[in-house]
Amino acid sequence: MTRSDYYYTINKIDKDEKNQELTEKIKAIYAEHKERYGYRRITMELARRGVCANHKKVQRLMQKYKLKGITPRAKYKSYKGDFNGTVKNLLLNKVVDTKKHKTYYTRNFCTTAVNQKWTTDVSEFHIAAGKLYLSPIMDMHNAEIVSFNISKSPNFTQTMDMLNQAFQKHQKLEGLILHSDQGWQYQMTPYHSMLREKGIIQSMSRKGNCYDNGIMENFFGKMKNEMFYGHEYEFSTLDELKDAMVKYIHYYNNNRIQEKLKGRTPCEVRNSALE
Protein backbone atom coordinates (compact mmCIF):
# COMPACT_ATOMS: atom_id res chain seq x y z
CA MET A 1 0.00 0.00 0.00
CA THR A 2 1.35 3.41 -0.95
CA ARG A 3 1.65 6.16 1.65
CA SER A 4 -1.18 8.18 0.04
CA ASP A 5 -3.45 5.09 0.04
CA TYR A 6 -2.58 4.45 3.68
CA TYR A 7 -3.49 7.99 4.78
CA TYR A 8 -6.62 7.95 2.62
CA THR A 9 -7.75 4.72 4.32
CA ILE A 10 -6.94 6.03 7.82
CA ASN A 11 -8.80 9.30 7.19
CA LYS A 12 -11.78 7.45 5.72
CA ILE A 13 -12.01 5.15 8.76
CA ASP A 14 -11.76 8.17 11.07
CA LYS A 15 -14.47 10.01 9.09
CA ASP A 16 -16.74 6.94 9.06
CA GLU A 17 -16.35 6.57 12.83
CA LYS A 18 -17.25 10.24 13.38
CA ASN A 19 -20.24 9.89 11.07
CA GLN A 20 -21.35 6.78 12.93
CA GLU A 21 -21.08 8.62 16.24
CA LEU A 22 -23.13 11.53 14.86
CA THR A 23 -25.66 9.14 13.32
CA GLU A 24 -26.25 7.46 16.69
CA LYS A 25 -26.89 10.87 18.28
CA ILE A 26 -29.27 11.81 15.46
CA LYS A 27 -31.15 8.51 15.83
CA ALA A 28 -31.39 9.01 19.61
CA ILE A 29 -32.92 12.51 19.22
CA TYR A 30 -35.23 11.28 16.44
CA ALA A 31 -36.51 8.45 18.68
CA GLU A 32 -36.73 10.68 21.78
CA HIS A 33 -39.06 13.07 19.94
CA LYS A 34 -41.14 10.20 18.49
CA GLU A 35 -39.93 10.71 14.90
CA ARG A 36 -41.35 14.25 14.81
CA TYR A 37 -38.12 16.17 14.19
CA GLY A 38 -36.75 16.92 10.73
CA TYR A 39 -33.10 17.71 10.04
CA ARG A 40 -33.35 21.41 10.99
CA ARG A 41 -34.65 20.82 14.51
CA ILE A 42 -32.31 17.86 15.02
CA THR A 43 -29.38 20.14 14.09
CA MET A 44 -30.59 22.71 16.65
CA GLU A 45 -31.05 20.01 19.30
CA LEU A 46 -27.52 18.70 18.66
CA ALA A 47 -26.19 22.26 19.20
CA ARG A 48 -28.12 22.47 22.49
CA ARG A 49 -26.27 19.30 23.53
CA GLY A 50 -22.87 20.70 22.58
CA VAL A 51 -22.54 18.85 19.26
CA CYS A 52 -21.58 21.05 16.31
CA ALA A 53 -22.89 19.62 13.03
CA ASN A 54 -23.67 21.18 9.67
CA HIS A 55 -27.37 20.98 8.83
CA LYS A 56 -26.61 19.61 5.35
CA LYS A 57 -24.61 16.77 6.86
CA VAL A 58 -27.44 15.98 9.28
CA GLN A 59 -29.85 16.03 6.33
CA ARG A 60 -27.62 13.63 4.32
CA LEU A 61 -27.32 11.18 7.21
CA MET A 62 -31.06 11.28 7.87
CA GLN A 63 -31.77 10.62 4.19
CA LYS A 64 -29.27 7.76 4.20
CA TYR A 65 -31.01 6.05 7.11
CA LYS A 66 -34.53 7.06 5.95
CA LEU A 67 -35.26 9.20 9.02
CA LYS A 68 -38.07 11.56 7.98
CA GLY A 69 -39.64 14.37 9.96
CA ILE A 70 -43.42 14.64 9.88
CA THR A 71 -45.07 16.85 7.24
CA PRO A 72 -49.29 19.17 6.89
CA ARG A 73 -53.87 18.19 6.36
CA ALA A 74 -58.10 19.78 7.10
CA LYS A 75 -59.90 21.26 10.01
CA TYR A 76 -63.18 21.71 11.77
CA LYS A 77 -64.85 24.94 10.61
CA SER A 78 -66.71 26.88 13.29
CA TYR A 79 -67.90 29.63 10.91
CA LYS A 80 -71.71 30.05 11.11
CA GLY A 81 -72.25 33.35 9.32
CA ASP A 82 -70.77 36.80 8.91
CA PHE A 83 -70.52 38.87 12.07
CA ASN A 84 -71.67 41.97 10.14
CA GLY A 85 -68.27 43.64 10.37
CA THR A 86 -68.62 45.07 13.88
CA VAL A 87 -65.35 43.41 15.00
CA LYS A 88 -62.41 44.29 12.75
CA ASN A 89 -59.26 42.37 11.92
CA LEU A 90 -56.62 44.30 13.87
CA LEU A 91 -53.76 42.24 12.47
CA LEU A 92 -54.07 43.69 8.97
CA ASN A 93 -51.91 46.49 7.60
CA LYS A 94 -53.35 48.41 4.65
CA VAL A 95 -50.81 49.01 1.87
CA VAL A 96 -51.51 51.46 -0.97
CA ASP A 97 -49.39 50.92 -4.10
CA THR A 98 -49.64 54.26 -5.91
CA LYS A 99 -47.63 53.06 -8.92
CA LYS A 100 -49.89 50.09 -9.64
CA HIS A 101 -52.99 51.85 -8.29
CA LYS A 102 -53.72 48.93 -5.99
CA THR A 103 -54.62 48.56 -2.34
CA TYR A 104 -53.81 45.34 -0.51
CA TYR A 105 -53.32 44.07 3.04
CA THR A 106 -50.44 42.41 4.86
CA ARG A 107 -50.84 40.45 8.08
CA ASN A 108 -49.00 41.68 11.14
CA PHE A 109 -48.34 38.84 13.58
CA CYS A 110 -45.24 40.60 14.96
CA THR A 111 -44.77 41.24 18.69
CA THR A 112 -41.98 42.52 20.93
CA ALA A 113 -43.02 40.73 24.14
CA VAL A 114 -45.34 38.07 25.53
CA ASN A 115 -49.01 38.92 26.22
CA GLN A 116 -49.32 41.43 23.37
CA LYS A 117 -51.21 39.30 20.85
CA TRP A 118 -53.03 36.02 21.45
CA THR A 119 -54.98 33.89 18.99
CA THR A 120 -57.58 31.14 19.38
CA ASP A 121 -59.55 28.63 17.32
CA VAL A 122 -61.19 25.18 17.58
CA SER A 123 -60.05 21.96 15.90
CA GLU A 124 -61.71 18.55 15.63
CA PHE A 125 -60.04 15.18 16.35
CA HIS A 126 -62.10 12.25 15.03
CA ILE A 127 -61.55 8.57 15.91
CA ALA A 128 -63.82 5.49 15.77
CA ALA A 129 -64.99 6.09 19.36
CA GLY A 130 -66.17 9.63 18.58
CA LYS A 131 -64.88 13.20 18.34
CA LEU A 132 -62.97 15.58 20.59
CA TYR A 133 -62.66 19.33 20.07
CA LEU A 134 -59.56 21.26 21.13
CA SER A 135 -59.92 24.96 21.94
CA PRO A 136 -56.53 26.58 22.76
CA ILE A 137 -55.16 30.11 23.16
CA MET A 138 -51.71 30.73 21.72
CA ASP A 139 -49.37 33.65 22.45
CA MET A 140 -48.10 34.92 19.08
CA HIS A 141 -44.79 36.04 20.59
CA ASN A 142 -43.46 32.65 21.66
CA ALA A 143 -46.06 30.28 20.11
CA GLU A 144 -46.91 28.99 23.60
CA ILE A 145 -50.28 27.38 24.30
CA VAL A 146 -51.38 29.62 27.17
CA SER A 147 -54.52 27.63 28.00
CA PHE A 148 -56.76 25.02 26.40
CA ASN A 149 -59.92 23.00 26.82
CA ILE A 150 -60.80 19.61 25.33
CA SER A 151 -64.48 18.77 24.95
CA LYS A 152 -66.74 16.21 23.24
CA SER A 153 -68.58 19.06 21.52
CA PRO A 154 -67.59 22.59 20.45
CA ASN A 155 -69.76 24.30 23.07
CA PHE A 156 -69.63 27.79 24.55
CA THR A 157 -68.71 26.50 28.05
CA GLN A 158 -65.50 25.18 26.50
CA THR A 159 -64.60 28.64 25.17
CA MET A 160 -65.30 30.38 28.49
CA ASP A 161 -63.35 27.76 30.45
CA MET A 162 -60.37 28.30 28.15
CA LEU A 163 -60.57 32.07 28.81
CA ASN A 164 -60.86 31.62 32.58
CA GLN A 165 -57.78 29.39 32.62
CA ALA A 166 -55.79 32.02 30.72
CA PHE A 167 -56.96 34.82 33.02
CA GLN A 168 -56.01 32.84 36.13
CA LYS A 169 -52.47 32.46 34.79
CA HIS A 170 -52.08 36.05 33.58
CA GLN A 171 -53.73 38.96 35.37
CA LYS A 172 -52.41 42.10 33.63
CA LEU A 173 -53.71 41.86 30.07
CA GLU A 174 -55.02 45.35 29.34
CA GLY A 175 -54.37 46.30 25.71
CA LEU A 176 -53.76 42.70 24.61
CA ILE A 177 -55.28 41.76 21.22
CA LEU A 178 -57.12 38.41 21.15
CA HIS A 179 -57.63 37.25 17.57
CA SER A 180 -59.95 34.54 16.23
CA ASP A 181 -61.86 33.57 13.12
CA GLN A 182 -65.59 34.34 12.81
CA GLY A 183 -66.64 31.19 14.68
CA TRP A 184 -69.99 31.41 16.45
CA GLN A 185 -68.30 31.13 19.88
CA TYR A 186 -66.49 34.42 19.37
CA GLN A 187 -69.70 36.22 18.37
CA MET A 188 -71.43 35.60 21.71
CA THR A 189 -72.15 38.59 23.99
CA PRO A 190 -70.67 36.98 27.18
CA TYR A 191 -67.41 36.41 25.27
CA HIS A 192 -67.24 40.10 24.26
CA SER A 193 -68.12 41.19 27.80
CA MET A 194 -65.41 39.09 29.41
CA LEU A 195 -62.78 40.51 27.07
CA ARG A 196 -63.95 44.08 27.73
CA GLU A 197 -63.77 43.52 31.51
CA LYS A 198 -60.09 42.59 31.16
CA GLY A 199 -59.31 45.47 28.80
CA ILE A 200 -58.65 43.03 25.96
CA ILE A 201 -59.23 44.13 22.37
CA GLN A 202 -61.06 41.63 20.16
CA SER A 203 -59.92 40.99 16.60
CA MET A 204 -61.53 38.74 13.97
CA SER A 205 -60.38 37.29 10.65
CA ARG A 206 -62.11 38.35 7.48
CA LYS A 207 -64.89 36.07 6.26
CA GLY A 208 -63.58 32.82 4.77
CA ASN A 209 -59.91 33.83 5.04
CA CYS A 210 -58.02 31.08 6.92
CA TYR A 211 -54.67 32.85 6.39
CA ASP A 212 -55.76 35.65 8.74
CA ASN A 213 -55.44 33.10 11.55
CA GLY A 214 -52.54 31.22 9.99
CA ILE A 215 -50.55 30.93 13.23
CA MET A 216 -53.27 28.88 14.93
CA GLU A 217 -53.89 26.81 11.78
CA ASN A 218 -50.17 26.10 11.68
CA PHE A 219 -50.20 24.79 15.26
CA PHE A 220 -53.15 22.46 14.59
CA GLY A 221 -51.35 21.12 11.52
CA LYS A 222 -48.18 20.42 13.51
CA MET A 223 -50.04 18.77 16.37
CA LYS A 224 -52.13 16.50 14.14
CA ASN A 225 -49.16 15.51 11.99
CA GLU A 226 -47.00 14.72 15.00
CA MET A 227 -49.40 12.87 17.32
CA PHE A 228 -52.64 12.08 15.49
CA TYR A 229 -52.50 11.35 11.75
CA GLY A 230 -51.45 7.73 11.26
CA HIS A 231 -52.06 7.00 14.95
CA GLU A 232 -55.87 7.23 14.99
CA TYR A 233 -56.31 3.47 15.48
CA GLU A 234 -54.02 3.50 18.53
CA PHE A 235 -56.75 5.33 20.48
CA SER A 236 -59.56 2.93 21.36
CA THR A 237 -61.35 5.41 23.66
CA LEU A 238 -61.81 9.18 23.80
CA ASP A 239 -60.06 9.20 27.19
CA GLU A 240 -56.93 7.72 25.58
CA LEU A 241 -57.04 10.36 22.85
CA LYS A 242 -57.56 13.17 25.37
CA ASP A 243 -54.61 11.96 27.46
CA ALA A 244 -52.38 11.94 24.34
CA MET A 245 -53.52 15.48 23.42
CA VAL A 246 -52.77 16.82 26.92
CA LYS A 247 -49.33 15.17 26.88
CA TYR A 248 -48.55 16.57 23.44
CA ILE A 249 -49.38 20.14 24.47
CA HIS A 250 -47.10 19.80 27.51
CA TYR A 251 -44.36 18.42 25.22
CA TYR A 252 -44.95 21.22 22.68
CA ASN A 253 -44.66 23.98 25.31
CA ASN A 254 -41.75 22.54 27.29
CA ASN A 255 -39.66 20.25 25.07
CA ARG A 256 -40.26 20.94 21.38
CA ILE A 257 -37.69 23.44 20.14
CA GLN A 258 -38.61 25.75 17.24
CA GLU A 259 -36.49 27.25 14.50
CA LYS A 260 -38.25 30.64 14.69
CA LEU A 261 -37.51 30.73 18.45
CA LYS A 262 -33.79 30.20 17.69
CA GLY A 263 -33.72 26.63 18.92
CA ARG A 264 -35.66 27.28 22.12
CA THR A 265 -39.00 26.03 23.44
CA PRO A 266 -42.02 28.34 23.97
CA CYS A 267 -41.65 28.16 27.76
CA GLU A 268 -37.94 28.96 27.60
CA VAL A 269 -38.74 32.12 25.63
CA ARG A 270 -41.44 33.20 28.12
CA ASN A 271 -39.17 32.53 31.11
CA SER A 272 -36.28 34.52 29.61
CA ALA A 273 -38.66 37.38 28.74
CA LEU A 274 -39.90 37.56 32.34
CA GLU A 275 -36.43 37.45 33.96
pTM: 0.75
Q: How far, in Å, CA of 32 to CA of 251, rounded?
A: 11
Strands (E), 40-155: 92-97, 102-107, 117-120, 123-127, 130-139, 144-151
Say what the pLDDT of residue 85 is: 54
User: Is the predicted pLDDT of residue 8 greater than 80, yes or no?
Assistant: no
Give yes or no for residue 221 having a pLDDT over 90. Answer: yes
pLDDT value, residue 106:
61
Q: Report the share of the chain in percent with pLDDT over 70.
A: 79
Query: In whole angstroms, how far apart are CA 90 and each of 55, 85, 206?
Result: 38, 12, 10
Residue 144 or residue 35, greater confidence:
144
Alpha helix (H) ranges present in 3-100? 3-32, 39-48, 55-64
β-pair type (177-180, 201-204): parallel
Lowest-confidence segment of 23-37, 113-127, 155-169 by average pLDDT: 23-37
Torsional sign, CA 178, 182, 183, 186? positive
The percent of residues in the chain predicted with pLDDT above 90, rounded, is 54
**What is the reported pLDDT for 141?**
96
Of residues 110 and 196, which shows the higher confidence score? 196
For the stretch 222-236, pLDDT in tens is 999 999 998 999 999
- What is the DSSP-derived secondary structure letter of residue 148? E
Cα separation, 116 vs 41, whole angstroms: 27
Q: What is the mean pLDDT of residues 35-41?
A: 88
| Mean per-residue pLDDT over the chain, rounded | 85
Q: Is the pLDDT of residue 42 over 60?
A: yes
Residue 6: predicted pLDDT: 46
8 Å CB contact between 179 and 203: yes
- Residue 72: CB partners within 8 Å, gap ≥ 6? 221, 222, 225
Phi and psi torsions of 66, nearest 5°: 55, 45
In the chain, where the domains are located: 3-64, 92-274
CA-derived radius of gyration, the chain: 23
Distance (Å) of CA 66 to CA 20, 46, 61, 158: 15, 19, 8, 41
| Rounded Cα–Cα distance for residues 172 and 44 (Å) | 34
- The pLDDT of residue 79 is 46
DSSP 165-226: HHHHH----TT-EEEE-SBGGGGSHHHHHHHHHTTPEEEEPPTT-GGGGHHHHHHHHHHHHH
- CATH architecture assignment, domain 92-274: 2-Layer Sandwich (3.30)
First to last CA, the chain: 62
| pLDDT over 50 (residue 7) | no
Question: Is pLDDT of 10 > 60?
Answer: no
Taking residues 91-109, report their average pLDDT: 63
